[in-house]
Structure 1
Amino acid sequence: MTDKNIRPDYYRHGTVDVIAVLYLLFGDTARVFLVGNIIKYIVRYRDKNGMEDLIKARTYLDRLIEEEGKQK
């Protein structure tokens, strides 16, 4: 799995990235979206999509790390 798992084409309008827009509109509070998705995918992975959900959680965690690095 790649970053496409959380940035599929249908979440874009041209080159606009939804998570980037959240950070633009809501600043640091946009991290709640990322953290919430990390928790969601970790909690449900055994009962829903298994490895796919763990990979999605990791992808959101990587994005959170990327965004936090930009804030410093």
Structure 2
Amino acid sequence: MGSAEYAYSDLSDLSINGKYAKKTTEQVGGSHYKNKKIEPIDYIVSNDLNFCEGNVIKYITRYKEKGGIEDLKKAKQYIDFIIANLELKGNR
């Protein structure tokens, strides 16, 4: 399975505080996000999600169109990373 490619808009899409003011990406390769109302990367960036949180969103969003159970296992692995990190910090 190949990875999707994205075309990025220029930095004029950024607001002054660094938040994305509008959609900044368009999927060029692959078809696993084409039927979605929002690209996972736009949701991830707009909500300031970290790497692990972003990967959960990515894999959950695409599992039906791309990786099936394997993508669900990947999402679960990233959720486990998040839980382990919170437990190390003493958070519940």
- Report the identity percentage: 45
Give ranges in structure 2 of 5+ residues lacking alignment.
1-48
Cα distance in 1 between the residues matched to 2:89 and 2:55: 20
Give ranges in structure 1 of 5+ residues lacking alignment.
1-30
1:51 aligned residue: 69
Question: Aligned-residue CA RMSD in angstroms?
Answer: 1.2
Q: How many residues align?
A: 42
Cα distance in 2 between the residues matched to 1:44 and 1:32: 18
1:38 to partner: Cα distance: 0.4
Runs of 4+ in structure 1 displaced over 4 angstroms? Answer: none
Larger radius of gyration: 2
Structure with greater contact order relative to length (CA < 8 Å, sep ≥ 6): 1
User: Could you state the TM-score of these two structures normalised by the residue count of structure 1?
Assistant: 0.55
